[in-house]
Amino acid sequence: MRKVFNKELLNIAKEDSRVFMILADIGYGEIEEFANTFPDRFINCGVAEQNMTGVACGVAMEGNIAITYSIANFPTLRCLEQIRNDVCYHNANVKIVIIGGGMAYGELGISHHSTEDIAIMRSLPNMVVLVPCDPVETAALTRMMMKYDGPVYFRCGYKGEPVIVERDFEAKLGGSSLIRDGKDATVFFAGTVGINAKKAVEELAAEGINCRLVSLYSIKPIDKDAIIAAARETGGIVVLEEHNIHGGVGSAVAEVLMDEGVGNVPFKRIAMPDVNATKVGCQAWMREQYGLGVADVVNAVRKMVKK
Q: By CB under 8 A, tell whether 64 contacts other proteins.
A: yes
Based on the shown chain and the rule CB under 8 A, indicate whether residue 57 belongs to the binding site for other proteins.
yes
Whole-number CA gyration radius for the chain = 19
Instruction: Return the number of the residue (11 or 50) whose C-beta is nearest other proteins.
Output: 50
- Binding flag, residue 210, other proteins (CB under 8 A): no
Per CB under 8 A, which region of 59-67, 142-150, 230-238, 293-301 contacts other proteins? 59-67
Indicate the helix (H) or strand (E) that contains 244: strand 237-244
Among the candidate windows 82-90, 103-111, 142-150, 282-290, which touches other proteins by CB under 8 A? 82-90
Q: Which is nearer to other proteins, 127 or 277 (CB)?
A: 127
Q: Binding of other proteins at residue 127 (CB under 8 A)?
A: no
210 near 187, Cβ under 8 Å?
A: no
The reply to whether 45 sits near other proteins by the rule CB under 8 A is yes
Per CB under 8 A, which of residues 12..31 are in contact with other proteins? 20, 22
* Residue whose C-alpha is closest to residue 215's, from 287, 135, 148: 135
- 299 φ/ψ angles, rounded to the nearest 5 degrees: -65, -40
Q: Does 158 bind other proteins (CB under 8 A)?
A: no
Q: Which residues pair with 99 in a beta bridge?
A: 71
Tell me, what amino acid is at 147? K
Tell me how far apart the alpha carbons of residues 83 and 72 are, in angstroms, rounded to a whole number. 16
The count of chain residues that interact with other proteins, using the rule CB under 8 A, is 29
Reduced to 3 states (helix: H, G, I; strand: E, B; else coil), residue 164 is coil
Which region among 50-58, 170-178, 180-188, 193-201 touches other proteins (by CB under 8 A)?
50-58
